[in-house]
Amino acid sequence: MDKTKARQIVLDELNSTYKSPGDRLVVLDYLTIEKPYGWVFFFNSERYLDTQNVIYALGGNGPVVFETATSTITRLGSALPPEEEIRTFEQQRGLR
C-alpha cells in the first residue's frame, strides 16, 4: 500500500459520511505524518480551504490514522492536541 492509495481510501471513507451540499472533505497534505505503521492524515472542508471563512471550518475533526498492515482506518479524537491523540493511539495499539 502506498501513501496515495491510503489517502484515497481515507478520503472515500470520510466523504461517505459527510453530508454538506456543494462541499466535500479534503486531506491537508502538508500536515500528513508518516509513521512506521502507516500515515496520520488531517482534513477539513474544501469550502473552508477555498474561502478561509471560519463558518465553513469543521469542529471536532481529529486526525485519521491509516494502518498499512491491515488497511484499518481509525478516527482519533480532537479533545487533546493531535500529538497526544496520536501518542495515546500508539500506546493502546502497541505501535511506534
pLDDT tens over the chain, length 96 residues: 999 999 999 999 999 999 999 999 999 999 999 999 999 999 999 999 999 999 999 999 999 999 999 999 999 999 999 999 999 999 999 987
Question: Into how many domains does the chain fold?
Answer: 1
Domain that holds residue 55: 3-93
Q: For residues 43 and 58, give the distance between their C-alpha atoms in angstroms, rounded to a whole number.
A: 9
> Among 66, 67, 86, which residue's Cα sits nearest to residue 11?
66
